[in-house]
Structure 1
Amino acid sequence: MPYRLWKVRFLCTDQACKNPLSSGGFHRQVRDIDRFYNLVTETLICSKCCRSYLSWNRDIVEQLDMAHRSEFRVILTPRYACDIRVICLLWNEV
């Protein structure tokens, strides 16, 4: 939860907007190699253009410095989540 925990301010990624984003939270279940675990993440919302982003969205993560980016070990989509260890195994199978 970079907005609440690290107090990082994000901007809307829409070129015409660039409004500061505000936060809302939800839980996500993540698949790891040997287990599932729960992840608390944020939905960042633009009050001007009404767009919403997961805090793990690539455009949002790119607004962080490299030290904070390294904390994002999960590939997250609006429906599914997968730990980076599973992704590495899949890459090795290809």
Structure 2
Amino acid sequence: MSEKATCTLLVGPAEDGPLIQYVNEITSIDPSDQAAVAKLIATRDDIKAIAKSANSEMKELLSALFSEDINDFKAAGTDLLTRCG
């Protein structure tokens, strides 16, 4: 799948796609809110499903988005939002 097509799926037509949701949710989530955690997991799964058909460079960025290293997360998120913006 082309980078543009991947970005369209990630960002969504009204900038409400799973990438935007994930970045917003992960930065403000309350770990004790089970409903919010479940929504975050579902959003992550949506992104992982999109990543399966993405090109290799986008797959790497999407994988880094789920890194436990905050610097990897920030770098990947910034790069993805810039590419897809």
Give the TM-score of the pair, scaled to structure 1.
0.29
Looking at CA atoms only, which structure, 1 or 2, has the larger radius of gyration?
1
The TM-score, its normalising length taken from structure 2, stands at 0.32
Q: Which has the higher strand share?
A: 1
Q: Of Structure 1 and Structure 2, which has the larger fraction of its residues in helix?
A: 2
